[in-house]
Homo-oligomer: A and B are copies of this chain.
Amino acid sequence: MDSVQLIKIKEEILSDNTELGNEIRGRMRASGTFFINLMASPGAGKTSLLVQTIRRMKVDVRMGVIEGDIESMVDSQKIQDEGVRAVQIETGGACHLDAAMVQPALATLNLADYDLLVVENIGNLVCPAEFDIGETKKVMLLSIPEGHDKILKYPLMFTVCDVLIINKMDYLDSSDFDLQQLKATMAKLNPKARIFEMSCKTGQGVDAWCAWLKEEIAAWKQQAG
């Protein structure tokens, strides 16, 4: 295995990807579309967050979703059932989305028709953290059953995210999750990140998240205009 060659290829990929990411970001800015890259482990609640967000916001905000999955259209169907357009990307085997994979999905949409587009990335706390897809904000979910020590083991995702949503708060009392310790580590690693405590099952914290999102969308549109 020629690791030097591999590293060089990885650098080229990341650099090409950032260029394409910036191009996509420019188009989103021009159309006033707030563009979220939603990342988490498998089963942390990405689709549930989308469903809760759609139910609260779709009256006021023109939303669309791009679903990234290795296989299956389970999540796209859930989104369509909520009356929101979903575009499916099937990666085959790839464990993350990059800008080049997102671009053809975006090409099926008229960006000016959307105030908010969300990409639900592949369930993976590792690789998606490395790839810019042109997003306005990176949002990550950590769910209580995963444990508070994930920030020590997968620090890059916690470092690059703009928003950390702590989901499945309804499991907090029956778990040994140390919320204070997580927040203390986060305060050192990524003090600028906005943190929301949430339960998509009980609805706790979803309104606060939606209120924040609406403000951010308005600010982004002002910047575009």
Binds B, one of A52-60, A64-72, A106-114, A203-211: A64-72
CA distance A145 to B149 in the complex (A): 17
| B123:A125 contact, CB within 8 angstroms | yes
- Distance from A143 Cβ to chain B, minimum over Cβ atoms (Å): 6
A78–B160 Cα distance when bound, in Å, is 28
Listed in ascending order, the chain A residues whose CB lies under 8 Å from chain B are 1, 5-6, 9, 12-13, 16, 41-43, 69-72, 74-75, 93, 95, 100, 122-127, 130, 143, 145-147, 149-150, 152-156, 168, 171
**A43-B41, A124-B95, A125-B124 known; A70-B145 Cβ under 8 A:** no
Residue of B nearest to A44 (CB): B146
- Would you mind naming 14 contact pairs between A and B with Cβ atoms under 8 Å apart? A1-B16, A41-B123, A42-B125, A42-B150, A42-B153, A70-B153, A71-B152, A71-B153, A71-B155, A93-B156, A95-B126, A123-B125, A124-B126, A127-B127
Cβ–Cβ < 8 Å partners of A150 in chain B = 42-43, 123
Copies held by the complex: 2
Contact of A74 among B12, B41, B149 (CB under 8 A): B149
A167: min CB distance to chain B, Å: 10
Chain B residues, Cβ within 8 Å of A43: 41, 143, 145-147, 150
Question: Roughly how many angstroms separate A43 CA and B126 CA in the complex, as a whole number?
Answer: 13
Contacts of A122 in B (CB 8 A): 126
B70 touches A126 (CB 8 A): yes
Query: For A153, what are the chain B residues with a Cβ–Cβ distance below 8 Å?
Result: 42, 69-72, 74-75, 123
* Chain B residues, Cβ within 8 Å of A72: 149, 152-153
Going nearest first, the 5 A-B pairs with the smallest beta carbon separation are A43-B146, A95-B126, A145-B145, A72-B152, A43-B147
In the bound complex, CA of A143 to CA of B147 (Å): 12
Tell me the smallest distance from the CB of A73 to a CB of chain B, in Å. 9
Q: Please, which residues of chain B bring their CB within 8 A of the CB of A1?
A: 12-13, 16, 100
Q: Give, as a whole number of angstroms, the nearest-CB distance from A31 to chain B.
A: 26
Contact across chains for B9 and A154 when beta carbons are under 8 A apart:
no
